[in-house]
Amino acid sequence: MPEGHSVHRLARQLDDVFAGEVLRVSSPQGRFTAGAALLDGRELLEATAHGKQLFARFAGEQILRVHLGLYGAFGFGGDQGFRGASSIGAPRRIGEKEAYDDGTPVAYDGPPEPVGHVRMRLVSEHGWADLRGPSVCEVLTVPEAEAVRGRLGPDPLGADTAAGEEEFLRRIGATGTVIAAALMNQALIAGVGNIYRAEALFRAGLDPWARGRDLPVPVVRRLWQDICALMADGVRDGRIITTRAPDRADPEAPVWPDHAYYTYQRQGQPCLICRTPIGLAELAARKLYWCPACQPRTGRSA
DNA sequence: CTAGCATGATCAC
DNA sequence: TGATCCTGCTAGC
């Protein structure tokens, strides 16, 4: 159940441990057998992310595209050098909750027998990665991969956040949908999910039902900039934390605060700012959390 | 133990 | 709008 920050961490991890390596690629589960055969024995050149989409470029113009969906996750394992190659702290799993190695040296005898439904297994000389439960795992040509990217909006974790801001402004200004729905539309902004959506709207004090095109330009700019900052923190921490330090129950515990969120899954509980009970609504088949007092309905909202 | 739900997105109707 | 994909966590027996 990853939002964009998890996929960016995953891309970094794959790049750290596999880039430049010739990989054995298989599908123990059997649902990716043909795709695995296209990649098997090729060098992984680079792994990148755009929003929630993961792209791994292999030699021979083969692009692996993975989307984790609701519950996809990668698991990693390998020898000491493999684990040390990770720049994000050698997690054993990336996708939903991440578990970290404690640094204890372990003997490495090659990958374990696949347990359960492993859609794809990548194996190098020094380590392995197992992919489970993705909504998409396929091999694309370069033009096909570019077409996928072309359908996505700007990524707050992309290299050029200034250009992304202008693009976000353009796309939000052109949509008639409410801002809470717009933030979940990957064609308008890529990588935001249900948590960042709810939390960014709260931090901006925005009515979730305000229409995108009705929002003042400076408000939309600040929203983009705040999402960029929040998601960059998420990549750094491996976890979504959106509460400002003074708003957490224990300011002395900045890394694992009691309250990581202002509104997400806090329906009925008091707002951390004004004590008003947090609201819950159904919007486009997803749950929307907001504070009715800090994010008052505006006249023109839908 | 089981049932229900979850940070997602597509497809059929 | 609802079903579906199909994993893992958690609340409740």
Say which CATH topology domain A154-290 has. Answer: Helicase, Ruva Protein; domain 3 (1.10.8)
Instruction: Spell out the residues 6+ positions from residue A97 whose beta carbon is closer than 8 angstroms to its own.
Output: none
CA A92 to chain CA mean position, Å: 17
pLDDT given at position A122: 97
- Give me the pLDDT at residue A249, please: 65
HSE, CB side, 13 Å, CA atoms: give it for residue A215.
Answer: 34
| Residue carrying the six token digits 């994000």 | A88
Each of the 302 residues of chain A gets a pLDDT tens digit; together they read: 589 999 999 999 999 999 999 999 999 989 999 999 999 999 999 999 999 999 999 999 999 999 999 889 999 999 999 988 988 888 888 876 788 887 777 788 889 888 888 999 999 999 999 999 999 999 999 999 999 999 999 999 999 999 999 999 999 999 989 999 999 999 999 999 999 999 999 999 999 999 999 999 999 999 999 999 999 999 999 999 999 988 886 555 555 557 899 999 999 999 999 999 999 999 888 999 999 999 999 865 55
Answer for A222: CB within 7 Å of strand B. Answer: no
* Tokens 């402004």, located at residue: A169
The Å distance, CA of A285 to C1' of B7, is 14
CB atoms under 10 Å from CB of A109, counted, come to 7
The verdict on whether A257 is a catalytic residue reads no
The closest nt to A96, taking CA to C1', is: B7
**CB-based contact A142:A61 (threshold 8 Å):** yes
Is A46:A19 a contact under the CB 8 Å cutoff?
Answer: yes
Query: Of A47, A35, A129, A36, which is closest to residue A82 (Cα–Cα)?
Result: A129
pTM, two decimal places: 0.95
- pLDDT, position A90: 82
A282 touches strand B (CB under 7 A): no
Domain ranges of chain A: 4-150, 154-290
Which fold would CATH assign to domain A4-150? Answer: N-terminal domain of MutM-like DNA repair proteins (3.20.190)
* A287 is annotated as an active-site residue: no
**Angstrom distance (rounded) from CA A78 to CA A108:** 6
The number of residues making up chain A comes to 302
Give me the amino acid identity at A261.
Y
**Residue A155, token pair as written in the block:** 């990524």
DSSP result, A187-214: TTSSS--HHHHHHHHHHHT--TTSBGGG
Distance, CA of A157 to C1' of B7, in Å: 16
Is A138 noted as a catalytic residue in this protein?
A: no
Predicted local distance difference test score (pLDDT) of residue A246: 87
Strand B at less than 7 A from CB of A96: yes
Q: How far is residue A248's CA from residue A254's CA, in Å, rounded to a whole number?
A: 8
Instruction: Count the alpha carbons within 13 Å of A212 in the hemisphere toward its beta carbon.
Output: 23
∠ at Cα A12 (A9, A15), nearest 5°? 150
